[in-house]
Amino acid sequence: MSGYVEGILVILLLNVIFAYAVYWPLAAGQLNLGVAGFVGIGAYVSAYASNEFGIPPYIACVGAGFVAFALALVIAVPVLRTKGIYLALATFAFGQVLQSLFLNLEIVGGAAGYPVISYIGVGGIAVCTAAVFLITAFLDRTRFGLNMVAVHDDEAVSDLFGINVRAYQALAFALGAGFAGFGGALYGHHFSYIEPQNYSILFSISIVLFVLLGGTQTVVGPLVGAAFFTLLPEVLRGSEEWRYAIFAVCIIVIMIPRPQGLITSDQLSALRQFLVRDRLREERHG
């Protein structure tokens, strides 16, 4: 594999993890604009743990994911009291707080950045991305996923049917943060260097954008969105200075006919019905 292809592949894999970090809160109806902060938490925790205490990188990454998860659970209590645009603002503010914390923490290099010694290659990242996707896809097929859709669509009715709405929202938020931290940790171990500038609001927004482009109704939406956002600029590389303009036009052209995102649940269920119809007919007559 050439260095160029490998570089793109790693970014793609990490973007898929980040996409699921944003997908879970969105699945419960929350826009998390502070996701970059949780990515940073994961990156710094894992880097520090492996640098200072010699913890093996994979264990450090998973541990960093759990730290981000736990932090998000704590943060969820006050933050999830806000709704809609105010929730987005609160998470945005929290992301900014974290970024300035990284900037001022001299113990991990402050503004100068922090080198990460132990290395994780593309293969390891691929396995981790697959794990994040499988966990998400599995949870989506359980009652947990079912109830999450219910909470997203109608909080009042979900509550009457015995669903603990606040707990589900907090779990979705924390699960996303956990994935963000895990992905951030992998990033650090692959690129061997992390710095506070990486975890800005722009980073959060671009992840949210590609998840919205892919669609939040199904588990495959974020995957498609991440792939699209990572690969299209590369495909357009031929037309140097115009490529981001063309890229932006492509996004707008897609969003016009598909405001719900590229992949919707109607689409998938139509496909599923198309695939199982023959089988059902056989069962009925056989």
Partner 1 sequence: MADQPILSLDCVSKSFGGLNVIKNLSFDVRCGQRTALIGPNGAGKSTVFNLISGVFPVNSGRISVNGNDITNVPSRKRMKLGVSRSFQNIRLVQHLSVLENVLVGQTPRVTSLGDILYPIRMTSGSHWQCEAMEVLERAGLAAFARDHVGNLPYGVQKQIEIARALLGGADILLLDEPAAGLNPQETEDLSTRLHQIADSGTTIVVVEHDMQFVGAFCEYVVVLNFGEMIAEGTPQEVRRDPHVIEAYLGSDVA
Interface contacts to partner 1, rule CB under 8 A: 138-147, 149-150, 152-154, 156-165, 217, 265-266, 269, 272-273
In the complex, what is the shortest distance from the CB of residue 263 to partner 1, in angstroms, rounded to a whole number?
Answer: 13
In the complex, what is the shortest distance from the CB of residue 273 to partner 1, in angstroms, rounded to a whole number?
Answer: 6
Q: Supply the DSSP symbol for 110.
A: G
| Torsion, CA 92, CA 95, CA 99, CA 100, rounded to 10 | 70
Based on CB atoms, which residue is closest to partner 1, 152 or 190?
152
In the complex, what is the shortest distance from the CB of residue 283 to partner 1, in angstroms, rounded to a whole number?
Answer: 11
- Concatenate the DSSP letters of all residues of 61-79 into one string: HHHHHHHHHHHHHHHHHHH
Based on CB atoms, which residue is closest to partner 1, 52 or 266?
266
What share of residues in the chain are helix, strand, coil (percent, to 5)?
A: 80, 0, 15
Q: In angstroms, rounded to a whole number, what is the distance separating the alpha carbons of residues 222 and 243?
A: 23
In the complex, what is the shortest distance from the CB of residue 70 to partner 1, in angstroms, rounded to a whole number?
Answer: 19
**What are the distances in angstroms from CA 259 to CA 15, 45, 275?**
22, 38, 26
Based on CB atoms, which residue is closest to partner 1, 52 or 153?
153
Based on CB atoms, which residue is closest to partner 1, 75 or 150?
150
Q: In angstroms, rounded to a whole number, what is the distance separating the alpha carbons of residues 257 and 251?
A: 11
Based on CB atoms, which residue is closest to partner 1, 75 or 263?
263
Token digits for 33? 């604009």
Q: In angstroms, rounded to a whole number, what is the distance separating the alpha carbons of residues 103 and 118?
A: 22
In the complex, what is the shortest distance from the CB of residue 138 to partner 1, in angstroms, rounded to a whole number?
Answer: 6
In the complex, what is the shortest distance from the CB of residue 265 to partner 1, in angstroms, rounded to a whole number?
Answer: 5
Judge contact between 230 and 279, C-beta under 8 A. no
- Could you report how far apart the first and last alpha carbons of the chain are, in Å? 51
Beta strands in the chain, from DSSP E residues, in sequence order: 114-115, 193-194
Based on CB atoms, which residue is closest to partner 1, 141 or 281?
141
In the complex, what is the shortest distance from the CB of residue 275 to partner 1, in angstroms, rounded to a whole number?
Answer: 12
Based on CB atoms, which residue is closest to partner 1, 206 or 260?
260
Backbone angles phi and psi of 194, in degrees to 5: -130, 150
